[in-house]
Structure 1
Amino acid sequence: MIVTHIRQNFSASFYPRRSEWVAAFTLFAMGWMLSANPELMANAKTQAYNLLQMIAPQPVWSVCLMLFGMGRLSVLLINGAWRRSPYMRAGMAFLSCFLWTQIVLSFAPTFGFAFILACGFLGMDLLNIMCAMSDARTVDHAHARGNVGEHQ
């Protein structure tokens, strides 16, 4: 019964939030990639990683990206399976924008594919913030009207 509840609620909330899932998984995957390729930033033939390395060394970026990506995936899972959490989703998307901004600024000097892709993810997370806050407004109005069961 619990598994059925989780499956039904998750499947109903996954599709409208797929861009949030993609952004969260991408952050986690970038952290994993940095841990699987420990010399990537040091052996790069471009200066694309200089800004990131000025902030923190590659192992720190790896751990931060994986932990943050996993945290964001957890918020999305909880949102889809048990309880609506639009404020947490908006907060995680907002914090993700900090990471995307660092990546965008780091790849700006090369002005290549990675720069454009990072800009795309930054823009997508800005839209995710607006969508999550719209969901928050809907949930808040439902609470105010007393229709909590319909939106929880």
Structure 2
Amino acid sequence: MPYRNHPLPVRLYLGIHDHFPARRSEWVLAGIMIAWGWLLIGPSPVFAQSNAWSQMAAMMSESSWGWFGIGIGAFRLLALIINGTFAGTWYGRWSPHVRALASFLTCFLWFQISFGLWVSDAATTGLAVYPGLLVLDAMNIVAATKDAAGMDKAVADDRP
């Protein structure tokens, strides 16, 4: 691996820097997910401010949704860091698979938000945003599964 001989902070920087352009939307969507979750666990109630969130509030508490979002976003960031920085390791081999899973989990959350907003009687601009995030992450699932298939093929071709 080209980063193996560098100290860890430099290795992390180079791995992220070199792979960021190809994974730009995954990084941004992970950041949005963490920020969304952070807002929900904050001191100001979000769900109580609008009927738009009533569907989600009926399923889980606001803080549970918040921690779920932060967990998925952090899991995704970790997968992206490993994918770009530790690709030559035994665990780096699985990072495209983990990226696909992280995108799938994030799609689940974008869908829950979009559906909840749709079925509420509240008019909200979120219906212009969250379905778009869902589509972006659906495209990330396709990209990550293609990367995973390529990794699987490369591993299978190296076997005697």
Q: Shorter-chain-normalised TM-score: which range?
A: 0.7 to 0.9
Structure 1 residue identity aligned to 2:22: P
Check 1:7–1:39 CA distance in 2 against 1; reply closer, same or farther (3 A cut): closer
Do residues 63 (structure 1) and 67 (structure 2) align? yes
Q: What's the CA shift for 1:144?
A: 2.5
Q: What's the CA shift for 1:39?
A: 1.7
SS of structure 2 residue aligned to 1:100: helix
Per-residue CA deviation, residues 29-87 of structure 1 (Å, 9 max, x unaligned), is: 0011112253221132xx20010101111111111111221111111111111124100
The correspondence for 2:78, drawn from 60, 63, 74, is 74
SS of structure 2 residue aligned to 1:49: helix
Q: What's the CA shift for 1:6?
A: 3.0
- TM-score if structure 2 supplies the norm length? 0.82
Q: What's the CA shift for 1:141?
A: 2.1
State percent identity of aligned pairs.
31
List gaps (5 residues or longer) in structure 2: 1-5
Structure 1 residue identity aligned to 2:116: S
SS of structure 1 residue aligned to 2:20: helix
List gaps (5 residues or longer) in structure 1: 148-152
Figure out how many residues of one structure are paired with residues of the other and give that number.
145
2:7 corresponds in structure 1 to 2
Q: What's the CA shift for 1:120?
A: 0.5
The correspondence for 2:46, drawn from 8, 22, 40, is 40
Do residues 97 (structure 1) and 107 (structure 2) align? yes
Is the CA contact 1:38–1:58 (under 8 Å) kept in the aligned structure 2?
no
Q: Structure 1 runs of 4+ off > 4 angstroms?
A: none
2:149 corresponds in structure 1 to 137
Do residues 146 (structure 1) and 158 (structure 2) align? yes
Counterpart Cα distance in 2 of 1:112 and 1:59: 21
- TM-score if structure 1 supplies the norm length? 0.86
Per-residue CA deviation, residues 103-129 of structure 1 (Å, 9 max, x unaligned), is: 001111445421121001100010000
